Structure 1
């Protein structure tokens, strides 16, 4: 029969809250019975396997499951809906709501405790690890061992694990039955799961010795303990639990736990290959794993990809610049090019927003980029608006200094907006587009980068001021040294006495070069100090002056040390035992400058003059399926 949920907006008289579960569940059950949906709630969490006579049932099951799930969702309050919205099984959702609200309140009087003070005394004894008090309490109220004593639905064992008392946990586990160990709190955590996320190995071990099935019990979000452990960074605990977890529970047909475990293992670098970073073995194996994943993804429909978090994975890969993952995934499944995030931003816009140049070049090589370039997100932002937004701090932190950060931001924005190489990528309509806030890309850029411009100006002025003092000092010294030459002058002709000696020529040439280069450096730094600091100055003008200023300052220091060494050799001939150590020490300032400033100089030079971040070298990789896919793209 056709189920029409939308025609029944008032399935229950009142949406589910904290205190009306009994009435709500009775109404819902009657509704499910009337709509022939109760079997979905009563039977299984999983769809029928698509084989033999059940092959035709799979689609029907999915339809009925979706109808029942929708009925539950529209009958819940917003706070409760927010907690269950990610669950795709109607039965699992029903069971979770029963666990959360259907259990009787096991507080005052529910297991023989006569007052709230009794609950408080019990909790205090568990949290402090006072076994004598706890033992006495449990002797008097034995049922309290399996009761839920906190608002989160935790048992005594849950609380003891959280408190970290190993001896108390071991004694409680001895007293509890295997079934009691399987009790879950409101989040679906068993005491083992609580121990897993906290890395309590001995606690987990004593529980698993009594009930091995705990290793398979999932939280209400569907995660087994090993996945929870690695998700919370408990690597050693995850390895221990993995050794006990049946492989069947991590296979694709058993749900997403295996994929989640792999993803977390990759993030934390704990795949367990013995020598993970040696040679190219890990790269080859990772690539093979990626290829197998791509083959599996090709066979999935849209809903299955959503459940397997394929779309989330590709969005995260773009955010983090994982080039190979995106490349292989798009090559195997071209329709993933139309993936969008929660704000309806396509992968082209995301690559720009997160400043991933390699991925941008990858997509730029596609013929279908023209079909993507006009798309806007939920705020009506275009791809050029993305370039106008401030990059993520994790990206900017890789670039030293606010001025160079501003330069890189301008390079992205200006290249997209003006550069002839990519003029076809951003047409005039996109350049002048207005977003939801009424801002053009240019206005949005200025709004987001106002503070960065100020910081860049301060950084430039501070650096230029310090370097100007040094350069001016060198120029003064070298000017004075030119008129106090070693060996003196001939009293008759006024010519230097040592004019024809090689060491004297070395001195005078080095002195002149140091004077001229330091003077040039002073002028460059003065140019920086007197700059207007307009937005466009950060892209070429200011970096160019800083490069010239630093380079000439470095050269002036080096030649000043050479002039000093030459003068010393002239005056102390025949005393090499003192000359050469002093000359060696003269190299210390040059070395310090190289170590402290030269890397900045090199990085600034590369950032200003290296090849464009939008080099189209990736285009030929996608040529083969561009033609094949073109028809699909332009019919969207």
Structure 2
């Protein structure tokens, strides 16, 4: 029986799990359109009403069966003889729900006169269906209905039901008949109607209607200790969140007892990229930067670990850098709007001096300009928020810093590669460069361990560089040992092929080796391994994968190169048009196109031969570790480059031959064939040329480890 029910409830009903069980069964019944049988207050249809009774009997049997097979032996014995799903449900609730009796007795408003059950059932349906006329008629007849809890189990008021269903006009009608205190009534989960509206839908007007009636709602605490204004951001309803924040009482929000809720609000605003709200609240109460929230985190930590988004493509970077925004004006507008309860719009507007082409691009959304512009605007707000937090951390002494999570934030930001955060924190608090994590590693050792090049480069700008490079962690690993560790960081996945990944790892090791003092090279850790020995052990699998990748690439390209060599060598002695029988010279010798044919044929032959030789050099390599640093990438780059040149020259040679043989009378045919011949060249460029560029940049570009602070 238990296995049959795995798709309805996780555990059969017993005396300890009624609440979880009832949620699971109710959800299942609602999904199967059977819950109305259990919840209905109407009498079942009579057998004489054959069609209605047959329909009810079928649904009742399905609901009852689902309830029965969800019970253990003891629970099933309570309802074995029952034929009504509603009666079975009520019996189980009475027997197993220890909270049901107290919940029904602690609030007189739950009770509805017995003679009005059917009317309230229709009222509930009208609220759910959005029938405004029926709702008005009912509350005209029963004015107190707006204050009663019309659902027996969830104890929801009419406003809860309408807000959950998202019917704005009905909510307005109900609120008009309610007092401000009525809007503070809670359901069985401890949620007011505004909270229910936030959880189940994101209709801004519903929230606005309620808050106009009762200004205290945005900062009221539910049973879990969460404010509606915080909940709105938590559920990513940013427009509603901005509105609730703009009308919330700042005095209540920054009371000493509410600071953790205010810190939670800043955290949720940061997570949803609403940095304007976080910045405004932080300006009102700078102490919040290091105040622990409901989850025992601080806004500083949240800002450190919050994802920053994907890297931009080169053309997106160009657009991003070209956008000019007056940052001071943006921050001033944020403070003015939120301080004057002006509705904050989630849509971005142009700020400051923006050149005309950008204005046109913004209007027509050329190349996704709006998205990139919004990223720039968010970054300006992020930078201002970070500066504000750094100013607050300057005021803390060592004891206060140790009691906060600033050090944790610094190390987690270094691990995630949040360069701007790490740089700003270290500038504001230079002493933190000598702080350590739980393994006694400094921030630069962590940057090396997780291959964060920009953060590691900050070591050249701190006064404690000598101390940082001489440090040893709890396992007696020095900074060079960190370069020998291999954790496969996420950024390594962006490098094509195991061979180039191995090259990147070697570049890291060489760079760190040039920074640390000489004694670290032969220093052994707790495993009696030097940094080089640790590197060899940790990268053994990557070295093998790199060798395999190199050989497979070289083998494939060697086959292509050899075919081109064969074809172009043969083409030299089978000239288009043949040779003159008397002189033995080619018939098209005086044709300029023939010269193009011969030159392109020679270029293709020589370059393909060079390519084959380079790939043969790769196949016969010893594959030592240091070979992956420059030797093998250089050979692969030359091989791919000459192979590309040979294919292009071969196509040119082919087009020249076709042009000579067809002559001027069939120029359209020649044009068609020449156009088709560009397809393989284009395909090769699209598939292999990016790899060629990547190899060149990873081998010959300036070091990825900048030396400027």
Counterpart of 1:362 in structure 2 is 458
Q: Which of residues 561, 568, 590 is equivalent to 1:471? A: 561
Counterpart of 1:408 in structure 2 is 504
Determine if the alignment matches structure 1 residue 387 to structure 2 residue 478. Answer: no
Determine if the alignment matches structure 1 residue 599 to structure 2 residue 673. Answer: no
> Could you tell me whether the CA contact under 8 Å between 1:256 and 1:308 is conserved in 2?
no
Q: Which of residues 518, 527, 545 is equivalent to 2:635? A: 545
Counterpart of 1:10 in structure 2 is none
Aligned 1:335-354 pairs, distance under 5 A: 335-354=431-450
Counterpart of 2:273 in structure 1 is 269
Cα distance in 1 between the residues matched to 2:467 and 2:224: 38
Counterpart of 1:616 in structure 2 is 707
> Could you tell me whether the CA contact under 8 Å between 1:547 and 1:604 is conserved in 2?
yes
More divergent stretch after superposition (247-256 vs 346-355): 247-256
Deviation sequence 1:483-502 (CA, Å, 0-9, x none): 00123223344332333332
Counterpart of 1:578 in structure 2 is 669
Determine if the alignment matches structure 1 residue 374 to structure 2 residue 470. Answer: yes
Cα distance in 2 between the residues matched to 1:338 and 1:218: 41
Q: After TM superposition, give the deviation of residue 321 of structure 1 in Å.
A: 2.4
More divergent stretch after superposition (231-240 vs 521-530): 231-240
Q: Which of residues 250, 255, 258 is equivalent to 2:259? A: 255
Counterpart of 2:373 in structure 1 is 278
CA pair 249-498 structure 1, distance change in 2 beyond 3 A: farther
> Could you tell me whether the CA contact under 8 Å between 2:198 and 2:232 is conserved in 1?
yes
CA pair 581-119 structure 1, distance change in 2 beyond 3 A: closer
Cα distance in 2 between the residues matched to 1:207 and 1:449: 63
Cα distance in 1 between the residues matched to 2:192 and 2:553: 58
Counterpart of 1:434 in structure 2 is 524
Unaligned runs of 5+ in 2: 1-13, 42-89, 95-99, 107-151, 157-162, 171-177, 276-345, 350-370
Aligned 1:292-371 pairs, distance under 5 A: 292-305=388-401, 309-371=405-467
Q: After TM superposition, give the deviation of residue 342 of structure 1 in Å.
A: 3.0
CA pair 119-561 structure 1, distance change in 2 beyond 3 A: closer
Counterpart of 1:518 in structure 2 is 608
CA pair 365-452 structure 1, distance change in 2 beyond 3 A: same
Cα distance in 1 between the residues matched to 2:164 and 2:541: 52
Determine if the alignment matches structure 1 residue 143 to structure 2 residue 239. Answer: no
> Could you tell me whether the CA contact under 8 Å between 1:373 and 1:383 is conserved in 2?
yes
Provide the alpha-carbon RMSD of the alignment. 4.5
Deviation sequence 1:308-346 (CA, Å, 0-9, x none): 532233223322322222222222221222233332221
CA pair 573-265 structure 1, distance change in 2 beyond 3 A: farther
Cα distance in 2 between the residues matched to 1:314 and 1:196: 38
CA pair 461-157 structure 1, distance change in 2 beyond 3 A: farther
Q: After TM superposition, give the deviation of residue 448 of structure 1 in Å.
A: 2.4
Q: After TM superposition, give the deviation of residue 539 of structure 1 in Å.
A: 1.4
SS of corresponding position for 1:390 = coil
Deviation sequence 1:14-66 (CA, Å, 0-9, x none): xxxxxxxxxxxxxxxxxxxxxxxxxxxxxxxxxxxxxxxxxxxxxxxxxxxxx
Q: After TM superposition, give the deviation of residue 480 of structure 1 in Å.
A: 0.6
Deviation sequence 1:216-274 (CA, Å, 0-9, x none): 46799987565566557676775576566544566596535555544554454344472
SS of corresponding position for 2:690 = helix
> Could you tell me whether the CA contact under 8 Å between 1:196 and 1:225 is conserved in 2?
no
> Could you tell me whether the CA contact under 8 Å between 1:192 and 1:225 is conserved in 2?
no
Deviation sequence 1:203-227 (CA, Å, 0-9, x none): 9979988998675467999875655
Cα distance in 1 between the residues matched to 2:474 and 2:188: 43
Q: Which of residues 614, 618, 630 is equivalent to 1:528? A: 618
Cα distance in 2 between the residues matched to 1:220 and 1:307: 29
Deviation sequence 1:363-390 (CA, Å, 0-9, x none): 2233321011122233332211211122
SS of corresponding position for 1:328 = helix
> Could you tell me whether the CA contact under 8 Å between 1:181 and 1:211 is conserved in 2?
no
Q: After TM superposition, give the deviation of residue 557 of structure 1 in Å.
A: 0.6
Deviation sequence 1:391-440 (CA, Å, 0-9, x none): 443211221222211111111012222xxxx3xx2112222222233332
Q: Which of residues 481, 492, 503 is equivalent to 1:396? A: 492
Unaligned runs of 5+ in 1: 1-113, 148-154, 160-164, 619-636
Cα distance in 2 between the residues matched to 1:116 and 1:207: 41
Q: Which of residues 680, 686, 692 is equivalent to 1:589? A: 680
Cα distance in 2 between the residues matched to 1:398 and 1:116: 51
Cα distance in 2 between the residues matched to 1:388 and 1:367: 25
> Could you tell me whether the CA contact under 8 Å between 2:219 and 2:229 is conserved in 1?
no
CA pair 298-212 structure 1, distance change in 2 beyond 3 A: same
Cα distance in 2 between the residues matched to 1:290 and 1:401: 37
More divergent stretch after superposition (562-571 vs 322-331): 322-331
Counterpart of 1:94 in structure 2 is none
More divergent stretch after superposition (608-617 vs 308-317): 308-317
Cα distance in 2 between the residues matched to 1:198 and 1:460: 54
What TM-score, normalized to structure 2?
0.58
Q: After TM superposition, give the deviation of residue 543 of structure 1 in Å.
A: 0.9
Q: After TM superposition, give the deviation of residue 288 of structure 1 in Å.
A: 2.6
Q: Which has the higher contact order (CA 8 A, sep 6+)?
A: 1
Counterpart of 2:78 in structure 1 is none
> Could you tell me whether the CA contact under 8 Å between 2:185 and 2:193 is conserved in 1?
no
Cα distance in 2 between the residues matched to 1:119 and 1:465: 65
> Could you tell me whether the CA contact under 8 Å between 1:482 and 1:511 is conserved in 2?
yes
CA pair 264-408 structure 1, distance change in 2 beyond 3 A: farther
